[in-house]
Chain A
Amino acid sequence: MDLLDDRKRQVVTAGEARAVVCDRPSVAGSVTQRACSFCGSRVVLYPIADALHLVHGPVGCAAYTWDIRGAQSSGPQLHRLSFNTDIREEEVIFGGEKKLARALRELVAIHRPKGAFVYATCLTGVIGDDVEAVCRMATAELGIPVIPVQSEGFKGTKKDGYSAACRALDQLIGTGPTEGIGPHSVNILGDFNIAGEIWVIKGYLERMGVEVVATMTGDGRMDTIRKAHGARLNIVQCAGSMTSVAKLMKEKYGIPYVQVSFFGLEDCADALYQVAKHFGDPGMLRRTKDIVKAETEAVLPELARIRRDLEGKKAALYVGGAFKAFSLVKALRQIGMQVAMAGTQTGGPADYEHLKELCDADTILADDSNPLEMASWLALRDVDLFIGGVKERPVAFKLGIGFCDHNHERKIGLAGFEGCAAFAREVHATVTSPVWSLVPRRAGKALS
């Protein structure tokens, strides 16, 4: 692959001494898979189910983010509606603050939310709307927290949007009562309850004897987030999006945090042990061991069966955050697959160093890749599977390569021990499909 000059330093093989250059803006015209900072804030806050999520901007920003994720709620479904001030030419000329204030009044009256998030966009940023001032006024007038999310699309990358979302959460945390919260209590940060995953994780924790105070933001509620500072430990799953909230809570409230992943047997067990060890309660540790043993034993036979079919097959992955990449490398190894290429949209220097240690020496590592690069590596390494999101799917499918969706739009839960089995079944279903024998990539080989 003839990489663009500006991109060469962002691609290495794991065995090389050279580090992956990352944490830089995307190259114009490179066809990056990254979105904007608005996207970053929207994905993080979206699952808070009893809040009104109002996009202050033109139609597209709201329409493209209407109910596109699999984030489930056990109660209210307000987050699945798309609200938009639908900025038109008139507001571009005269300003959109009045329309925003009217929109908040109207929507709050109709939907009676527990709070509202107002997302600034490129357009309302450029026309100079004071979103913060409108939110302040609305908070006073409407009697619910109305929180500005300052994530205009041009203000950096998706990561900067994560920070904007974390600042918004920070405004909420610490404003609710903490009475009655026990000593063995946690918040789960960075799980978005895709296909009900947070319920699986909560189930393990409750069996261990751990109380879950707030989930951020999967199946999230305004009131529980407000009292999150009453928990004794933060469990951070999606490190990229939520570590900054954990850090803030450590500084402000002295709450320690652990970074974990619930994807893959190894990581899932490790996550539960980390929590148990933190609380240092012998009974909890024993229960955790029992849970890990029982849950692992329940899925191992199926994983072994699947592994027989997948042994030696090759995979590539391109995901948003690095923590998911770490877990996937291990989870794929568990079912006998090697990782030929691993890339992320938002990995940092330390993430890539860790990924280098995890991967084989010839694994291609790429930061902020694009379809042409990925397509060339999929072909070069002749992989059997590509793991990514909706934007990566056609790259794999056009080339006749199996694909597994590990993004937020998927409808299948992949976290926890049972999620490992679901993941293995997903991978097995695509990799072993008989349709590949018909695609030109394989049919051509059969002929030669």
Chain B
Amino acid sequence: MSLPIAVPSSKRPAATNSCRVCAPLGSVLAFRGLRGCMPLIHGSQGCATYIRRYLISHFREPMDVGSTSFDESATIFGGQSNLAAAIKNMVRQYAPEVIGVCTTCLAETIGEDTEGILREITTEDPSLPPIIHVSTPSFKGCQYRGFHDTVAAILKVTAKAGTPMSHLNLLPGPVSPADLRHLRELVEAFGLPLLMLPDYSETLDGPSLASYAPIPEGGTALADVADAGRAIGTLQLGATLEPGPGASLQRDFGVPLVRASLPIGVRATDAVLASLAAFAATDAAGAAAAAIPAWLSAERGRLVDAYVDGHKYVSGRRVAVVGDPDLAVAVAGFCAEIGLIPVLVASGALTHRMAPALEALGLAPGAFEVMEDADYDSIQRRVIELKPDLVLGPSKAYPMARALGIPLVRIGFPVHDRIGAGRILHLGYRGTQRLFDEVANALLANQQDSSEMGYAYQ
């Protein structure tokens, strides 16, 4: 048994320095991975503005998101006319291929029948683009849930049955644009056509432009998502997802679902590549492609060689990991693999699945603490007790790391005190290599900076 943590924040009357944000943010992020999609947040306009600002501070990319701009009368009488007006104005300005509507606490609490209103609006004007609705009250879940519920909603209304096709569905979870690009590379290395949902690798890490793109180029086309029910299988990344959005494809269309932890570390990446190889082998033409490509074996070889070179700098050192549940679990698994001790694995989300997922990755029960539904105040209290040598987490962990004099290696979301958040590669042998070097160097730098001698070699 993992040690239970004393007071989850939902039982305390107040959260101090929250470790999560709200569900519509996750929803907007997922919708940004659909081609030509304009997200629309139904409720107060502050929600859209804050979410835009927060996402911009991380991705440093344009983030146009509509709001239905509730006022007092919409709050009392319902937001039907606001929703209709917002859709009309967004179509006029942005000409979206699809509109993704998510809801705020306000719309959810006044009992707005958003689904029904949208049905009426689309019946009245059949020329409107498809509108996908997802309910995202933040009093029920955070950005992690908003993200996955949105992926599930997109699949639910879009995926269709049909003759089998040869592509693989990949549900990557809320990873970085660089991660998405690398995942595509990995799948394509096995000769598998890919349907990735969402794919914001281009929309949220795009090139410099001569003229402003109302909706950034890139993303997965809704027409392609329709084929999700005809894939050879679904690979769903995220160790704590239970059952996750891929389950509906299995239930409704018989698409085999393989669930895996995010590929961080040698073993976790081996496992994902083995799944890809197996999918490639099931494809009639793919038997030959099922071998691990040479360039990946080479990356693996270099990574293991680097582990050897750096193992003594990390061995036995203690680390606290903070992040989205799936990322935190996968990073803790990587830490264990290299001899770092993940003494604390914490997330602001509540899944009840982190401890079992860590044990499934081979971490010894009782050797680590898990905190779910945590705020940074409670995380900091545990960090003071547990005295880790390193924190792996987002920028929000910086005040804690600074106060306690512990180095921080930035991962996940948000990373808004550095540039290049969208280019942080966490996944695959290559992402692990980057992470390993950074972790080992952070420990080395800390030792060097705090030593009296300050040797310039190691």
Contacts and interface: CB of A to CB of B under 8 A. Distances in A.
Interface of A: 4, 6, 25-39, 54, 57-68, 80-89, 91-92, 99-100, 102-103, 105-107, 121-123, 125-127, 153-156, 370-372, 375-376, 379, 390-391, 393-395, 397-400, 438-441, 444
11 contacts: A31-B65, A32-B45, A34-B49, A39-B46, A57-B105, A84-B14, A84-B18, A103-B14, A107-B16, A153-B46, A398-B61
Interface string B31-69: 000000000100111111111111011001111111111
Quick one: which of A28, A68, A370 has the most chain B CB within 10 A?
A28
A376 B85 CA distance: 23
Contact of A66 (B17, B61, B139): B17
B62 A379 contact: no
B368 interface: no
A127 B106 CA distance: 10
A33 B52 CA distance: 9
Contacts of A35: 45-46, 49-50
Interface of B: 9-10, 12-18, 20-22, 24-25, 40, 43-54, 56-57, 60-72, 74-75, 82-83, 85-90, 92-94, 104-106, 109-110, 137-140, 142, 206, 208-214, 375, 396, 399
Nearest to A371: B64
Contact of A29 (B20, B21, B89, B375): B89
Nearest to A58: B138
Which 8 pairs between the two chains have the least Cβ-Cβ distance? A36-B46, A29-B86, A60-B22, A375-B212, A29-B89, A102-B13, A103-B14, A153-B44
A58 B105 contact: yes
A224 B368 CA distance: 48
Nearest to A373: B93
A245 to B, nearest CB: 22
A4 B46 contact: no
Contacts of B49: 32-36, 39, 391
A96 to B, nearest CB: 10
Contacts of A54: 14
Given A126-B75, A126-B110, A391-B52, A26 B16 contact: no
Given A31-B93, A63-B20, 11 more contacts: A4-B92, A28-B86, A31-B90, A34-B49, A35-B49, A60-B25, A84-B15, A153-B46, A391-B53, A398-B206, A400-B208
Contacts of B10: 86, 88
A54 B138 CA distance: 18
A80 B79 CA distance: 35
B212 A154 contact: no
Contacts of B109: 92, 122-123, 126-127
B15 A393 contact: no
B89 A4 contact: yes
Contacts of A37: 46
B106 A439 contact: no
A89 B140 contact: yes
Most central of A25, A30, A37, A105 by chain B CB within 10 Å: A30
Given A64-B54, A390-B53, A28 B209 contact: no
Nearest to B25: A60
B16 A395 contact: no
Given A39-B49, A394-B56, A59 B18 contact: yes
A34 to B, nearest CB: 6
Contacts of B93: 4, 29-31, 370, 372
A326 to B, nearest CB: 24
B212 A398 contact: yes
A348 B454 CA distance: 60
B56 A398 contact: no
Given A36-B49, A87-B139, A441 B44 contact: no
A390 B209 CA distance: 19
Contacts of A102: 13-14
Contacts of B137: 89
A121 B209 CA distance: 39
A70 B56 CA distance: 18
Contact of B57 (A30, A86, A390, A400): A390
B45 A34 contact: yes
Given A34-B49, A376-B212, A397 B60 contact: yes
Contacts of A92: 109, 139
B22 A371 contact: no
Nearest to B70: A154
A367 to B, nearest CB: 15
A56 B208 CA distance: 41
Contact of A86 (B18, B45, B48, B83): B18
B11 to A, nearest CB: 10
